[in-house]
Amino acid sequence: MKMVAPTFKLPFSLLCVLSIVCFCRVSFSHDGPEHDIEELTAQIEKEGASADLLLQRAIEYQVIKKTAEAIRDLEQAQQLEGGSPTILRELGRAYFAAGKTNEALNTVTRGITAGASGSERASLLMVRSEILRPRKEYEKALADAEEAIMEHPNNVEWYLDRSQLHALLKKTKERVKGIEEGIKATGSGLLEIELVDALIEDGQHAVALKKIEEELAASRIQSSWLIRRAKIRLAAKQNEVAKTDLVAAINELNSRMSGTAVDPSLFADRGQAFELYGDREQAHKDYSVAKERGLSDEWINERIRATKK
């Protein structure tokens, strides 16, 4: 019997780029990114600027949050080696992080059309998909995600991104199918959880409930599964038992919240429990705290809007 293993194509051009990057520096230990930047700057002064050295320095600048310097280096690197998908991807990301979405979009699109292939092309497509989302261009973002997954079907994160795009576009059937594909390709447990949410959204409550009961039996912490079960029970007008689930979930979440140092995902979970329970004000508060503490995506924004008075 043979175990299944993924096969990757590595373009020769990428091998060449990587081998150049590898051979440029002798560094085997360092004193932090500032020191690396000093070393790279000295090397650039000594040998002249090359795309690889500039790319490496840009990465170090990003580590110490010097985005402007990183962009400057990446722009110069791109001038030196215009067609490099790696440089275009990193420059696109840097523009996006700096809020320059038009520049980001143009840069990444240039990388996609410049002939990148395999996993390089897939990465560029996913970066473009990510840039398109805040512009609410969900159909285009979904098309990029679909193509990226076709090129490289082993990335769990990309299936999750596609699932969220399906959810935003209310494509519930496609969402379920897409997640199932992801589970088949990766075996991810996180996609199994996403599938339960997708099944609930798609109205396949019996299938979802079976999985929820299995998870409730297996898990130490039950709140997220109790909330999912409550959703199904509320849809079935079993309000009292649903509320029992929600109270149990809220109690468990409260026991995990200590002082001011709280995991924002717990606020998001509790917000959902309060919202289902009918306490929109408390739900709104919890969603808002979750967002303030870094849990910011379309879903939480939508919940904040939905629970606003």
Partner 1 sequence: MSFIPGTQLVLRVFACAVLVSSGFGAASQSSLTRGPYLQFSTTNSMHIVWRTEGPTLPVVRFGKRLDALTQRSSEVVTRASLGVDGQHIPSKWVALRTKQNLALPKLHSAPIGTFQYEVRLTGLEPNTRYYYVVMDGEHPLTKVDASFSVVTPPPRGAHQRIRFWAIGDSGTGRQAQIDVYNAMLATVKRENHAIDFWLHLGDMAYGRGRDVEFQSRFFESYAPTLRGSVCWPTMGNHEGSISRGATGIGPYYDAYVVPTRGEAGGLASGTEAYYSFDWGNIHFVCLDSHDLERKPTGGMAKWLKADLERTKADWVIAFWHHPPYTKGSHDSDKEKDLTEMREYIMPLIDSGGVDLVLTGHSHVYERSMLIDGAYATPSVSENVVLDDGDGDPEGDGAYRKSQGIHPHEGTVQIVAGHAGANLGRKGTIPFMRKTIVEHGSVLIDVYGDTLSATMVNANGTTRDAFQLVKRGNVDLAHIALPWQPPEWKKPEHARANPATPAVDHKVLIPKNAEWQFMAGEHPRGRDWTLPEFNVSAWKTGVATFGFGDGTVRTEIAAPRGRHASVYMRRQFTIDQADKVTELGLVIDYKDAFIAYINGREAARVNVGRSAGRNAQKIKAREENGYSYVGLSVANLRDGVNTLAIEAHTATESPLDFRIDASLLLED
Site for partner 1, residues 71 to 130, rule: CB under 8 A: 119, 122-123
Among 1, 170, 240, 309, binds partner 1 (CB under 8 A): 1
Among 135, 173, 256, 308, binds partner 1 (CB under 8 A): 256
Q: Nearest CA to 179 among 206, 212, 145?
A: 145
Residues 142 to 181: which contact partner 1 by CB under 8 A?
152, 154-157, 160
From the list 75-83, 136-144, 236-244, 291-299, the region that binds partner 1 by CB under 8 A is 291-299
Q: How far is the CA of 233 from the CAs of 142, 203, 253, in angstroms?
A: 32, 12, 20
From the list 31-39, 76-84, 165-173, 274-282, the region that binds partner 1 by CB under 8 A is 31-39
Q: How far is the CB of 163 from partner 1 (least distance, A)?
A: 11
Strand partners, 261: 258
**Residue 24, phi then psi, degrees to nearest 5:** -80, -30
Q: How far is the CB of 237 from partner 1 (least distance, A)?
A: 29
According to the binding rule CB under 8 A, does residue 3 interact with partner 1? yes
Among 51, 62, 145, 274, binds partner 1 (CB under 8 A): 62
From the list 71-79, 202-210, 270-278, 294-302, the region that binds partner 1 by CB under 8 A is 294-302
Residue type, 112: I
| 73-84 CB burial, b ≥16 within 10 A, e <16 | bbbbbbebbeeb
Among 44, 190, 216, 248, binds partner 1 (CB under 8 A): 190
The DSSP secondary structure of 150-212, one letter per residue, reads: HH-TT-HHHHHHHHHHHHHTT-HHHHHHHHHHHHHHH--HHHHHHHHHHHHHTT-HHHHHHHH
Nearer to partner 1, 116 or 238 (CB): 116
